[in-house]
Structure 1
Amino acid sequence: MPLRIGYVREHFSSPLLQFAQADEGRTISLVECPSGTGQLISRLTKNEIDVAIALTDPLISGIANGSEAYKLIGSYVKTPLNWAVVAGKDSTYEKISDLKDTTIGISRIGSGSQTMAYVMGFQQGWSSESMNFQVNNDIRGLIDSVNDGSTSAFMWEWFTTKPWLNSGEVRFIGSVPTPWPSWLIAAQTSADADALKEFLTTLSSYVRAFDSAESRATKNVDFIRAAFSYNEEDIKSWMKTVGYFPECANLPKDVILETLDVLKKAGVVKAPEGGFTLDKFINPKVVKLT
């Protein structure tokens, strides 16, 4: 039975989409999760997917906050994610500091949009207890909320949101890059280890091909334009900022430890007495810590 791979249909997923096209359902079956990492984690918990390619911070904070439904099995994108801070087209908010004590839109509880709002608040000196959120499910709901005034702003990946900026439907009032590599891979604890290792090995080959200098200079632009209808200028700008881990089954220890350190300071997780242990976060039958 093919592994059910949960993913967000964004440009970051291009190597996975190329893998799936060639695989034709033999070893993997893609399950789109348009609401983002919060939805991916929910589907892992409900046994609706076997694997999630998702944002680093919610995956790690979910385990740190007690989830036993999944473990980290690998790495994906090694560069930071640049989160745009997005306000309504006619709102009065002009900069991030204007958002203090307002209601921030998020896709789901525990999502990257919420985690990064806490990080933004930490950087601004706001207490996590003072931050207010409204769940709006997906990008459409988030855009509607900043324009009807029910929220002040939301955070979403810069290039994914840029089409709505270009159309004049929203404004960008700032950005907050993640202080960690942006995407990791997690799987249900009950998923077959051999199947997971085979998946990671094959995915790595597509990641290396996509990340190569030759592909960056030629076919990547055409693929992303066809798959996502982005304009060529935005695709080329994004390609200059992104890098992938060449071996998806390897995971640097520092990614987990340094992410936990920031999340603790932002009030997203609380360390147990004696601190966190790396074993809590990984499936050692699949991933190799480096």
Structure 2
Amino acid sequence: MPLRVGYVREHFSSPLLQFAEIDAGRTIVLVECPSGTGQLISRLTNDDIDIAIALTDPLISGIANGSKAYKLVGSYVSTPLNWAVITGKESKYQSISDLKDTTIGISRQGSGSQTMAYVMALQQGWPTDNLKFKINNDIRGLINSVNDNSTSAFMWEWFTTKPFLDAGEVRFIGSVPTPWPSWMIAAHPSPTRAPQDEVRVFLETLTKYICTFDSAENRARANIDFIAAKFGYPVGDIEAWLKTVSYPKDCLVVSEKVVMDTLSLLEKAGVVKAPEGGFDVGEFVETNVAKLV
């Protein structure tokens, strides 16, 4: 049986999409999760997928908050994610500071959109224990919520949402980059759902596609053509994004420092609480698959 790989259909997923096109369902089947990492974690829990390529922070916070549905097995994007802070086209909010004590839109509980709202609050010096959220499921629900004033703002990756900015549906009032590398890879611990040797082969093969995508030659032309065809982004936006993103040289490597530093920041934001004696990185990483460094 091919591995069921959950992903979000965004420009970041381009190397994975190229892998899947050549693989043609022999070793992997892609399962699109448009609501983001919260949905990916839910589908791992509900036996809808075996592997998830998802945002670092909610993956780590999910394990810290008790999820046994997955462990980290690899890394996917090594640069931060730039989250736009987005409000309605005619809303009264003009800056991030205006959002204090308002209701923030999120896609799902435990999503990156929620985690980053805590990080934004921490940066602004706001209390994190009384933040108010409204779940709006997906990007269209989030856009509707800021325009009907049921929420003040929401956070989503900058280039993914820029087409809605260009169309005049929303306004950007700031941005908050993640303090950690943005994407990691998680797998269900079951040996029947995600056999470790198959997961390892998947990650080794994905690394080859990433290295090809990440080459200077392909960044100059082929990547731009691929992303424009798949996602319809303007060439200027694609070129700007490519200047900001880096991928790992080996998807099987997980940095212990990244995991622990992320946990430290999430604890300060009030998203997780350390157990007595502190966090154990072994609870987060499947070291029979990943190379923990």
- What TM-score, normalized to structure 1? 1.00
- In the aligned structure 1, how far is the partner of 2:44 from the partner of 2:146? 30
Q: Is 1:249 aligned to 2:252, yes or no?
A: yes
Gaps (5+ residues) in structure 1? none
1:58 counterpart = 2:61: no
Q: Are residue 198 (structure 1) and residue 198 (structure 2) matched?
A: no
CA distance in 1, matches of 2:280, 2:162: 39
The amino acid across from 2:123 in the alignment is Q
In the other structure, the counterpart of 1:26 is 26
Q: Does 1:106 align with 2:109?
A: no
**Amino acid of the structure 2 residue aligned with 1:30:** L
Deviation string for 1:64-106 (max 9, x for gaps)? 0111110000000000000000000000100001000000000
Matched, 1:222 2:211: no
Structural mapping, 1:42-191, within 5 Å: 42-190=42-190, 191=194
Task: List gaps (5 residues or longer) in structure 2.
Answer: none
Alpha-carbon separation, structure 1, partners of 2:141 and 2:35? 10
SS across alignment from 1:129: coil
> Which residue in 1 is equivalent to 2:274?
271
For each residue in 1:180-239, what CA deviation from the matched residue of structure 2 results, as whole angstroms up to 9, or x when unmatched?
A: 000000000112000000000000000010011111011000000000000000000000
Out of 218, 237, 241, which is 1:238 matched to? 241
Matching residue's letter, 2:13: S
CA distance in 2, matches of 1:32, 1:93: 33
Is residue 212 of structure 1 aligned with residue 207 of structure 2?
no
Q: Secondary structure at the match of 1:74?
A: strand
Q: Counterpart of 2:245 in structure 1: which amino acid?
A: V
Structure 1 counterpart SS, 2:129? helix
Q: Percent identity?
A: 70
Q: Give the CA deviation at 1:21.
A: 0.2
- Residues in 2 aligned to 1:112 and 1:284: alpha-carbon distance in whole angstroms: 25
1:6 CA drift (Å): 0.0
In structure 2, give the amino acid aligned to 1:253. Answer: E
The aligned amino acid for 1:128 is: T
Work out the number of aligned pairs and report it.
290
The C-alpha deviation readout for 1:93-148, integer Å capped at 9, x for no partner, is 00001000000000000000000000000111111112100000000000000000
Question: How far did residue 33 of structure 1 move?
Answer: 0.1
C-alpha distance in 2, partners of 1:60/1:130?
22
Residue 266 of structure 2: SS of its match in structure 1? helix
How far apart, in 2, do the equivalents of 1:130 and 1:12 lie? 33
Aligned partner of residue 242 in structure 1, secondary structure:
coil
Q: Tell me how far apart the structure 1 counterparts of residues 279 and 242 of structure 2 sit (CA, whole Å).
A: 35
Q: Quote the residue 1:38 is aligned against.
A: 38
- Counterpart in the other structure of 1:289: 292
Task: Name the amino acid aligned to 2:260.
Answer: L
Q: CA deviation at 1:285?
A: 1.2
Rounded to whole Å, the distance in 2 between the matches of 1:38 and 1:221 is: 29
Give 1:5 deviation, angstroms: 0.2
What is the CA distance between 1:252 and its match in structure 2? 1.1
Q: Any idea what SS the aligned residue of 2:200 has?
A: helix
Q: What is the TM-score of this pair, normalised by structure 2?
A: 0.98
Partner of 1:9 in structure 2? 9
Alpha-carbon distance in structure 1 between the residues aligned to 2:215 and 2:249:
10
